[in-house]
Structure 1
């Protein structure tokens, strides 16, 4: 009986890693690319600092999905793990994985903060694309410098008593920081607290502005951006908390002595990890569902701007064919003369 249960959970774990992982990966790649197209193609978004942060997050999300999720699918789903044998790949993956996670969550936090500050007169001067680009560069430099420690302390290490190797941390103190603060706090509750707090503040401020004489276009834009940020925060809370609570607070303090509980634990870890990667994949679909402005601009970009050149190409092709046929006809006529 226990063998059947273990086999069932092992299959469920494999399906979560491969099926769920590829679904999140493909949905995330498509969504982030569409985000970049919309936010960079239209002047309305190019001149908005909150949209600049969202665009930056989309770029980073693509790196995170490739380096983090796709490599995780290969490691856990297909047992292809070069980090166990190559010191450089081990170091590079840890550096890129954690650095891009911190960058992505920072962009999301900055978007929430920016949306609130843009609604308050004393701080509105900080909400420009120029200022946003400086904040992004500064925070990216900080996380790259932070990632150097990961590159230094990560390496291929031997697992005692098994003869196997794994990619792990060499320094005990840094390992404690990694498991007790980096993941549960910097990549867990802290970004959520910042985003929830400023998202609620922005929502309250927008409601207050709606009672004043504010230009309709600007008010509608602020309402939709605030809704996009706030709903994304709510969804990310649901996606992040299960992984943070179970993997970094619960499973680390519990010992699983029998095979069944160990199989169940591996399944929950795999499932919550895949759900966690949804943070880097769902933004586009949230924006599309909650913002009519975003839907209209997506349709404008895809239909009118990016698909409009097809008729021109077709006309050019037909015109070239006609010219070629006329030239051939003239050659034939000359030949018979």
Structure 2
């Protein structure tokens, strides 16, 4: 059995498990953070709610079509130009916003656990609403360029950018916005939050929810573990862009991309 056949089986059967767990887990998070009064009033819970919505969107648009493609040999991105463009647009938005929301929730927990009253006052749900709105608008506007440049390339029949300059820019954009900056922000404010907790004698007196703080710190570790390989792969792709590669190397790179993206 070839490497590609093995990868196809992993994508199909592993994808079913990931879709089930992903939709169920994010659905439960959405229900809990949007309905439980204890969490509903906090900015961090709002960030988690938004994150859950876009995670479900990403799973639906990314994993399910990929599973169908391998299981039945039908890849709509190679048939429909509209779907090729829309899928990349939706993915660019739905994969970036959850990461940004994790950054924002980490920053919010730093505010909440801070001994400074002025910093604690920055933890406001109204402010969180405005920030998320601006971020969504930014990524929607940015995705217009993706819709314009992406298409089904002739000869190779693959959905990619038709402009190599934009392809390089978009790869750099993903590396910086989806990987480098989030890891820096999450690591910095995760450490500062942990330091605040260590310094605080009674966290409850600071009006912070211990359980929510723990959830954010766990989320920090998971996000760093998940997005670091994506950043490394994108950096490798950018460095080796234009390099003539053997069929075996191309197969390995494609298999790697299926695992990390």
Please give the TM-score of this superposition, normalised by the length of structure 1.
Answer: 0.70
> Contact between 2:30 and 2:52, CA under 8 Å: does it hold in 1?
yes
Cα displacement (A) at 1:251: 8.4
Which residue of structure 1 lines up, in the alignment, with residue 220 of structure 2?
Answer: 233
Cα displacement (A) at 1:16: 2.0
- Pick one of 91, 108, 127 that aligns with 1:97: 91
> Contact between 2:61 and 2:91, CA under 8 Å: does it hold in 1?
yes
What is the CA–CA distance in structure 1 between the aligned matches of 2:59 and 2:125, rounded to whole Å? 26
Cα displacement (A) at 1:256: 4.0
Larger radius of gyration: 1
1:54 and 2:48 aligned: yes
1:175 and 2:167 aligned: yes
> Contact between 2:15 and 2:64, CA under 8 Å: does it hold in 1?
yes
What is the CA–CA distance in structure 1 between the aligned matches of 2:129 and 2:93, rounded to whole Å? 18
Cα displacement (A) at 1:209: 1.3
SS at 1:126's partner residue?
A: coil
What pairs up with 1:1-337 in 2 under 5 angstroms?
A: 7-120=1-114, 121-159=117-155, 164-179=156-171, 181-210=172-201, 215=204, 218-219=207-208, 221=209, 223-249=210-236, 253=240, 256-257=245-246, 259=248, 261-273=249-261
Instruction: Give unmatched runs, 5+ long, in structure 1.
Output: 1-6, 274-337
CA distance 1:131–1:217, change in 2 (3 Å): closer
SS at 2:228's partner residue?
A: helix
Which residue of structure 2 lines up, in the alignment, with residue 323 of structure 1?
Answer: none
Please give the TM-score of this superposition, normalised by the length of structure 2.
Answer: 0.89
Cα deviations by residue, 1:45-83 (Å, 9 ceiling, x for unpaired) = 011111110111001111111012222223345432122
> Contact between 1:196 and 1:230, CA under 8 Å: does it hold in 2?
no
Cα displacement (A) at 1:258: 5.2
Residue correspondences, number: 257
Instruction: Give unmatched runs, 5+ long, in structure 2.
Output: none
- Which structure exhibits the higher relative contact order, with contacts defined as CA atoms closer than 8 Å and separated by 6 or more residues? 1
What is the CA–CA distance in structure 2 between the aligned matches of 1:251 and 1:95, rounded to whole Å? 20
